[in-house]
Structure 1
Amino acid sequence: MKRILSAVVTTFLATTVNSAPIIFFGEDLNNSSSVPLASTPNADSAFGDFSSNLTGVSTEDFESQATGTTSSISLNFPGSAGSIGATLTGSNMAIRSVPAGSTTGAGRYPTSGTQFLEANAIDFTIDFTQAISAFGFWGVDIGDFGGTVSLDLINGGTQTIQVPNTQGSGGSTDGSVLFFGFFDLNDSFTSITFDITSSGDIFAFDDMIIADEGQIVVDPVNPVPAPATFALIAAGLLGMRQYSRKKN
């Protein structure tokens, strides 16, 4: 079965470091529902750039969660002034486990270990007990039947940022892997809700990482890695990486 690898590693600076979320994105394309990608260099690079700006954080890989369907999951993360609680809710949520080197048969698999959270991108919500300023996750099998994902960042008002995932058709991007992360030195958020332009999309959510403002230490060497080409910058300005703000 033909497999596709996409060289899409980008980061996007909406205006300046202090006025908008700084976005890190990398995607590796696949077209197999049964064979996972053996490597994910683009997503790995985006994750490395994102995490280099954080300190004192941890990653939730869902390995300690009981497998099976659940309506909500409560997690704890270290913050700069104590722990930060996170509650994950949404339809079609389930902790899944698959052996290394395999998938669920529908293109979904973990990005580390053997377990991941299966969620629906149309109504997946994460609520935090304290405001956060950075969020990142790995996603598998997103947009394989069309649709792009967005995140609503809520704290009084709402900011919406786009995840520039490739839009597949009829499962053409089954099993693709992406990393998406952002930090914001100007605003903090107490809730994040996923949405997608299609009627819904079940995907694998894994290796979640968050940070509060005190855990963001901008990398002085390369705080915002440059896009690979000017063409990618132009594409971002034309809409792949849109940034909008809506006030209640």
Structure 2
Amino acid sequence: MSAPEAAVMAIEEARVAAPNPIDETLTSRFACRAFCDAPVARQTIEEILRVARYAPSGANIQPWHVYVLTGEIKRSVSAALLEAHETARDDHVSEYKYYASDLPDRYLRRRQEFGRLFYGSLGIHQADAEGRSRQTAKNYSFFGAPVGLIVTIDRRLEVGSWLDLGMFVQNVMLAAAGRGLQSCPQETFAKYHRILRPLLSIPAEQMVVCGISVGKARVQSQDRLMPRADIDEFATFLGFED
């Protein structure tokens, strides 16, 4: 190896070894389910959304809308959803299907592992339906977060725009993490779209996709509970030289 080649390799190795703030933000973000009540200023949320809007979208359609809730309106929404969850949960269903009816084995195993790890970490037995329901109910108070977002998409759009929306939601969570906040994406809000629609004046053409809780976590960092598949399980490399 020539001296110039060795120098280039040393620079590359140093670059790879150096802490990358984007990588740190990505890997330190977690789905927070326990927030403290420290307020988050409107300006901070505006900054987060102003950054998140740079998510890519096909033909620059930007297929997202966000309802930002705090204070009394958030409490009213939480109260209505908690009542529905307690008294009429079987009467409500999302307008879209999140999981396939027949999950292939690989994904079914991961979903079952999630249930074991998540509820096990809370001391809730898999067969404890009431305990699981009580934990689900915490979603509707935004896990104690001071700010809740309800995210919608125009129902007239196609599946490609849902891909764009997912990138926007990720941007929101990463922009929050970059400001010392944590978040939790919550599909379960979609189930109660009939309650949310009049409370938030959501027009008929908008479909409720999810909620996002945003705030200061009670614990700023935590061990990652959910394992991630290694890259050899999901990546195929072609054309690279050894």
Q: What's the TM-score bracket when you normalise by the shorter of the two chains? A: under 0.3
The higher radius of gyration belongs to: 2
Q: Per residue, is there more strand in 1 or in 2?
A: 1
With normalisation by structure 1, the TM-score equals 0.25
With normalisation by structure 2, the TM-score equals 0.26
Ranked by relative contact order (alpha carbons within 8 Å, sequence separation 6 or more), the top structure is 2
